[in-house]
Amino acid sequence: MPKTSRPLSTRTSVGQSNTLGIEFQNNRYVSRTIRQIFDYTGGWGTYYGVGGFGTANQLGRSGLYRPHARGRSMDTETADVATYGLSVNPVGQFKFNNLPINDRDFINYLLGNMISGQGPENYVFPENGSVSERAAQGATFQKAIDMWYSTNKNAILSHNHQDLRSLKEGFKVDYTPKEQGIDLLQDGTPLTIPNFIGSAWATIDILPNDMIRITIFNVTSLTSGDGIKHFHTKEITRSVTRRPGQITPFGSISTTFSVTRKINYNQFQLPNKAAQDAIIQNMGLK
C-alpha cells in the first residue's frame, strides 16, 4: 500500500504555503482520501512526469469563462454552497486539447493541481473527445440520459420531435453507492474518470437531426473528496474557493464534459412478439 502524503508543511517543493488549517478540520485530516488517491495514481513523481501545471500550453489553451447551466459555478443545490466553499470562480476556462490521457494520469494531473493550488481552476474537455467519451461510459452520464428520456417519455413513444423538452436549466445527478457500484463492477477499480466525477450537474440540449447534447459540470473540492465525511454527520468539511491570481492549496476546481447522442425513439419499445416468445421459451416457460 502506498505511503500517504503528509500534510504540507510551511513551505514545500511546489511552493505552497501552510495548509494545516485547511487539511485538519474537526480533529481529523479531511484531506486524507484526496491524498491517498493522489498517491495511488503515482503522486508527485507521476505529476511532474505528466507535466503538471508547467506544460499547460501543451495540453490545451486558456479561454474566456462561459457560464455552465445558466451561470452556475457550483454542481449542487445545497444552501451551504457559500458557507462551505463548494463553488469555483468564473475567472476563465482551460480548454483541453483532445489528448489520449489515461484515467490515472487524468486524476493525478487534476488532483496535483488542486493540492498544490496551481494550474487552471476550470477545465473544459472537448465535446465527443476521448476524455468526454470516457466520462460518458460512467453511471453519472447514464443517469442523466435516463432522466431526459423519462421526462420525454410521451414524446418518445409518439415519435413527436416537436414535443421533446430540453433540460437547459440543469439538474443534480447524485452519485450514490448504487452508481459507484455499477462503475466499480464495470471497471474493476475506483481510479477512473467516472468515479472521479461522482455527483455532478447535468444539462441536456436538443440539437438538429434528432441529436441531444449531454453536458456534465463537476466541482472537485475538499468536501466532495472527504471520503469519510458521511461517518461524521454533524461535521461538514469546509472547502476552499481559490483566490484569483494566487496559489490556493486545495482550492476547488471544476471540470466540464460533453457528448452528443442520437435520440433513440425505441427507448421504451417492448420486444416484438417473436422476441418475447424466444425469451419465454429460453426460460422454460413454454
Amino acid code (one letter) for 139: A
* Non-local CB neighbours of 263 within 8 Å, separated by 6+ positions: 156, 164, 210, 211, 212
**Nearest to 95, CA basis, from 71, 142, 46, 131:** 131
- Angstrom distance (rounded) from CA 148 to CA 166: 8
Strand-pairing partners, residue 85, are none
Is 171 exposed, middle or buried (CB count within 10 Å of its CB: 0-12, 13-18, 19+)? middle
User: pLDDT > 70: what percent of the chain?
Assistant: 65
- Looking at residue 255, its pLDDT comes to 93
Q: What is the pLDDT of residues 13-51, one digit of tens each?
A: 343 345 655 666 665 566 677 888 899 999 988 888 765
Amino acid code (one letter) for 76: T
Q: What is the pLDDT of residues 176-197, one digit of tens each?
A: 888 888 988 998 988 999 988 9
Q: Is the pTM of this model over 0.85?
A: no
* Set of cell numbers at residue 17: 504555503
- Angstrom distance (rounded) from CA 69 to CA 215: 9
